[in-house]
């Protein structure tokens, strides 16, 4: 790990930069599962940072399960960094995607409630100013790693009580007969702003993916307008392409 000061996006705490460069080394196979991490002192000297900073980065990665510490013998790589491969042709929920991969999903609520719709929400969801919007915003954490921030807006008619949503929004919509059957998803590049970066445990300015999903009921009515920020270093979106006419 080379000198970290001034490296990477500005303003990121040094321990986060070190954390990401260790993850990057594991992702690229420079460090393999079972390999020993250099000593705290060596990393601190090479990266020109304090041992306290190294310890904080290492402790975080132990907590995330990427590293293990064995008393007396050092710190080792516990597992490879996996990327998530996500099909672009299936309308699935985050809960279903994670269950299929055997990951344990946890969500932290950022917001849920009934509001007066914004002009954009009125336009996309086809609401009148007298109607209400249900907002459901969550940080989604798989196996301890925050993967995405999802901010969903729905017609309140489809989700009258957002506080009753359990772990899955689509499961809640299924119950009210409002699970979408079709969606248009738009993916674009985004650099993480300070608040989102903090939630995703990444340095400000890190590359992310902005994903917008507009979902429809069989009747053609829009039931969901979700804007999400996904970690850019974790997701591969995959689509099958066929020769056109
Ligand atoms: C995906 C989509 C979101 C959708 C969510 C529902 O992540 N990008 O648009 O709202 O799934 O997931 P769940 O049912 O787990 O809440």
- The CATH superfamily of 84-238 is Chorismate lyase-like (3.40.1410.10)
> What is the value of pTM for the model shown?
0.78
In three state form, how does the secondary structure of 83-136 look? CEEEECCCCCCHHHHHHHCCCCEEEEEEEEEEECCCHHHHHHHCCCCCCCEEEE
Instruction: Specify the ligand 1 atom closest to the Cα of 136.
Output: 10
**177 CA to centre of ligand 1 in angstroms:** 16
Mutate to test the pocket of ligand 1, among 87, 94, 139 (most ligand atoms within 8 A of CB): 94
CATH 3.40.50.720 assigned to domain 14-77? The reply is no
Instruction: Specify the ligand 1 atom closest to the Cα of 171.
Output: 14
**86 CA to centre of ligand 1 in angstroms:** 13
| Tokens read off for 70 | 């064995």
ipTM of the complex: 0.98
From the list 233, 231, 81, the residue with the least C-alpha distance to 147 is: 231
pLDDT on residue 108: 97
pLDDT on residue 144: 84
pLDDT (tens place) for every residue of the chain, 245 residues total: 766 765 555 567 889 889 988 988 888 788 999 999 999 999 999 999 999 999 999 999 998 888 999 988 899 999 877 778 888 889 999 999 999 888 899 999 999 999 999 999 999 999 999 999 999 999 999 988 899 999 999 999 999 999 999 999 999 999 989 999 999 999 999 999 999 999 998 888 989 999 999 999 999 999 999 999 999 888 888 888 989 87
**170 CA to centre of ligand 1 in angstroms:** 7
**Helix, coil or strand: residue 75:** strand
From the list 148, 150, 106, the residue with the least C-alpha distance to 232 is: 148
- Pocket around ligand 1: residues whose beta carbon is below 6 Å from it? 93-95, 150, 152, 168-171, 211, 213, 224, 226, 228
Q: In Å, how far are 9, 14, 22, 208 from 6, measured between CA atoms?
A: 8, 9, 17, 21
pLDDT on residue 174: 95
Residue with the smallest CA separation from ligand 1 atom 7 is 94
Instruction: Give the burial string for 214-231 (b: 16+ CB within 10 Å, else e).
Output: bbbbeeeebbbbbebbbb
Residue-range domain boundaries for the chain:
14-77, 84-238
């Amino acid at each position: 790990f080379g000198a970290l000061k001034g490296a990477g996006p500005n303003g990121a705490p040094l321990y986060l930069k070190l954390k990401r460069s260790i993850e990057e080394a594991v992702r690229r196979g420079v460090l393999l599962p079972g390999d020993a991490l250099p000593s705290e002192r060596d990393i601190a000297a090479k990266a020109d940072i304090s041992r306290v900073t190294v310890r904080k980065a290492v402790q975080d990665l132990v907590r995330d399960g990427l590293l293990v510490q064995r008393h007396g013998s050092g710190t080792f790589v516990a597992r490879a960094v996996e990327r998530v491969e996500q099909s672009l042709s299936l309308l699935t929920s985050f809960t279903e995607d994670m269950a299929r991969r055997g990951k344990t999903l946890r969500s932290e609520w950022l917001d849920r409630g009934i509001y007066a719709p914004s002009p954009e929400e009125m336009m996309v969801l086809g609401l009148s100013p007298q109607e209400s919007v249900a907002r459901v915003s969550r940080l989604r954490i798989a196996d301890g790693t925050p993967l995405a921030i999802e901010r969903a807006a729905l017609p309140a008619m489809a989700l009258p009580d957002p506080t009753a949503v359990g772990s899955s929004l689509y499961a809640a919509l299924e119950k009210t007969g409002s699970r979408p059957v079709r969606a248009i998803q738009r993916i674009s590049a985004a650099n993480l702003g300070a608040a989102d970066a903090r939630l995703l445990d990444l340095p400000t300015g890190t590359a992310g993916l902005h994903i917008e999903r507009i979902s429809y009921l069989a009747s053609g009515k829009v039931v969901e307008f979700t804007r999400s920020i996904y970690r850019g270093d974790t997701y591969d979106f995959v689509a099958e392409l066929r020769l056109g006419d």
